């Protein structure tokens, strides 16, 4: 239900959950009482209305815990094994982080440089590729909506009504 794209899909996922786990009345009741009333805070159809650049968790601890569990073979490891796994996970994260930073810098330098991106100023070197790409996409929509558009976007079609939702969050 967290990753559903629209409310119908969310409702179908909830119905499917209830059908597949009829014997789990206590869990279903707990979810209905504590989580469903605030689904706008965590459900996919609602959280994508807010600019979040793909961030899915509300706490870095949640994502670290999920990742740590993926490194452990079972829940009965020793404290020493846990220490080794944490070190391995942190080393892997550091390598991945440095690779992603290098990739984004190279991509930003080549894709969002030049006279047509002067309006960005130094922003394209200060935020992620994904953020700059979303801002640039919105600019293209705005230019295309103006009468006559531009040489690059000549459609001149009117803007759609604002839904408050970025496309493909």
Which pLDDT value is given to residue 169? 44
What's the token pair of residue 4? 């559903």
pTM of the model as a whole: 0.40
Count of residues in the chain: 169
Describe the crossing of helices 129-145 and 79-111 by its angle, rounded to 10 degrees: 40
Give the pLDDT confidence score for residue 46 in this predicted structure.
86
Residue 47's pLDDT is what? Answer: 82
pLDDT level of residue 168 (50, 70, 90 thresholds): very low
Q: Does the pLDDT at position 152 exceed 60?
A: no
pLDDT at 150: 56
Dist CA 87 CA 107 (whole Å): 30
- Mean pLDDT within 60-69: 80
Instruction: Check pLDDT > 70 for residue 45.
Output: yes
Residue 108 has pLDDT above 80, yes or no: no
pLDDT tens, position by position, 79-93: 888 889 899 999 998
Instruction: Report the C-alpha gap between 155 and 167 in whole angstroms.
Output: 20
Helical residues (DSSP H) of the chain, grouped into ranges: 7-20, 25-30, 44-47, 60-71, 79-111, 129-145
Q: How far apart are CA 166 and CA 169, in angstroms?
A: 6
The residue-averaged pLDDT of 16-40 equals 91
Taking residues 18-41, what's their average pLDDT? Answer: 90
In this prediction, residue 55 has a pLDDT band, given cuts at 50, 70 and 90, of low
On the question of pLDDT at 15 being above 50, the answer is yes
| CA distances for 29 relative to 16, 33, 43, 44, 118, angstroms | 15, 6, 18, 21, 55
DSSP state of 125: G
Burial (CB count within 10 angstroms: exposed 0-12, middle 13-18, buried 19+), residue 108: buried
């Amino acid at each position: 239900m967290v990753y559903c794209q629209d409310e119908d899909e969310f409702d179908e996922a909830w119905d499917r959950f209830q059908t597949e786990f009829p014997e789990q009345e206590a869990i279903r009741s707990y979810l209905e009482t504590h989580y469903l009333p605030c689904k706008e805070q965590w459900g996919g159809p609602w959280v994508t209305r807010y600019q979040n650049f793909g961030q899915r968790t509300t706490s870095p601890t949640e994502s670290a815990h999920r990742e740590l569990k993926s490194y452990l073979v079972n829940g009965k490891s020793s404290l020493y094994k846990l220490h080794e796994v944490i070190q391995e996970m942190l080393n892997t994260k550091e390598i991945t982080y440095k690779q992603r930073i290098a990739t984004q810098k190279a991509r930003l330098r080549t894709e969002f440089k030049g006279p047509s991106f002067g309006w960005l100023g130094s922003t394209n070197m200060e935020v992620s590729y994904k953020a700059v790409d979303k801002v640039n996409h919105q600019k293209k929509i705005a230019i295309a909506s103006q009468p006559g558009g531009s040489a690059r976007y000549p459609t001149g079609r009117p803007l759609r009504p604002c839904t408050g939702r970025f496309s493909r969050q």
